[in-house]
Chain A
Amino acid sequence: MKDSRLETFLARIYVDQTARERFLADPRGEATKAGLTAQQVEDVVKIDRDGLELLAASLERKKHNRR
């Protein structure tokens, strides 16, 4: 359950711009609110922000191409 929460959290910040912006503004707060474990919170606080930005842009492009 705890592991699936992390995947859910990641899915949300990957595809949802609002969720991602809230996370980037307060990573610890958002991760804690999402019910992640202490270790998971620490891991996402240190998230690869460049990669996150690029991934989100890539996913947005793909979504646009599909339409």
Chain B
Amino acid sequence: MNPFDFTGPQFLLFYIIFAGLVLSGLAFWRRRAELSPSTPRIDLSDPYLIAFLRGGEKEVLRVATVTLIDRGLLVRDGPQIKRAEDASPDSVRRPIERALLNKYARAGKVSWMFEDDGLSKACEQYAVTLQRARLIPDDYVYRARLVRLIIATFLLTGVGFTKVMIAIEAGRTNVGFLIVLIIASLVIAAAVSFPRLTESGREMIEDVQSLYRGLRNRASSMNAGGASPTNAGGAGVEPMMLAAVFGMGALAGSGSSYAEGLFRGHDKRRSNSCATDGDCGSSCSSSSSSSCSASSSSCSSGSSCGGGGCGGCGG
């Protein structure tokens, strides 16, 4: 049976199935190729690194801004932000924080930070680290993706436009829908081929959200202020990490609940915790306490959600 002999509707159905298989194969091939054989090791305590992994440069800027506001180094001034009177860029360690304090030495719009080359440069170190860990694509990965896309394009256009030509030669002109299907499948192929994260990166952010799900449960008890860049992992760092791992929306109900509104409308990207260019396979529900695998162990008292301990060993 030669599919090119199918009638129009038959071929459309065939093409939908064919394109589905090609796109599924493309996705599967990319995911398999981009999965590291061993689990990468990165600093899971660096909120800016995690923010970059989850949402790129803009997420780093959001998290850094909220952190600096909570520490009193940046202040909100209506729709603008500016450096506090007694704040100095030398009082912070991290390049991104220093760059933000420099940028907002005078009051300025929040949106400016997303267009600033200097701030962009301050985020480069995170990209380099994540590329080395193969969590975001490097040049090699991009080239491999391009090759896969070219092969998929060849298949999708080859089959589709062959039928278009046959139809036209037979005097049929109702090929518009098929052309639309071909274009749609090419668009999907491009989207499937170039997500922001590698497959390892997608899994890593899911894993990080799983490991830090306890933070989500405590959002309402987190106070603003005192957020510190130190590695103490103490209470002051929690809002930073919560925002980094789950997004500004996760700060709702905490002392930093102003955060989501601060960036609304200033950047076209949603600050939703799952906004990672469509590759957020984690789904926010994986970090909600209700989805925790409550242990059915007879002995892990209070240990629903992976971590209540054994409540005392005996007695």
Contacts and interface: CB of A to CB of B under 8 A. Distances in A.
Do any beta carbons of A and B sit within 8 angstroms of each other in the complex? yes
Interface of A: 55, 58, 62-63, 65-66
Contact of A55 (B301, B302, B304, B315): B315
Given A63-B301, A65-B301, A66-B302, 8 more contacts: A55-B315, A58-B315, A62-B301, A62-B302, A62-B311, A65-B302, A66-B301, A66-B304
A66 B304 CA distance: 8
Contacts of B315: 55, 58
Contacts of B302: 62, 65-66
Question: Does more than half of chain B's interface fall in helix, strand or loop, or is it mixed?
Answer: loop
Shortest Cβ-Cβ A-B pairs, 7 listed: A62-B301, A65-B302, A66-B301, A65-B301, A62-B311, A66-B302, A58-B315
A58 B313 CA distance: 12
A58 B315 CA distance: 7
A55 B312 CA distance: 12
Question: Does more than half of chain A's interface fall in helix, strand or loop, or is it mixed?
Answer: helix
Interface string B278-301: 000000000000000000000001
B312 to A, nearest CB: 8
B300 to A, nearest CB: 8
Contacts of A62: 301-302, 311
B293 to A, nearest CB: 14
Nearest to B310: A62
A56 to B, nearest CB: 12
Contacts of B311: 62, 65
Contacts of B304: 66
A63 B297 CA distance: 12
Most buried by B among A55, A58, A62, A66: A66
A63 B301 CA distance: 7
12 contacts: A55-B315, A58-B315, A62-B301, A62-B302, A62-B311, A63-B301, A65-B301, A65-B302, A65-B311, A66-B301, A66-B302, A66-B304
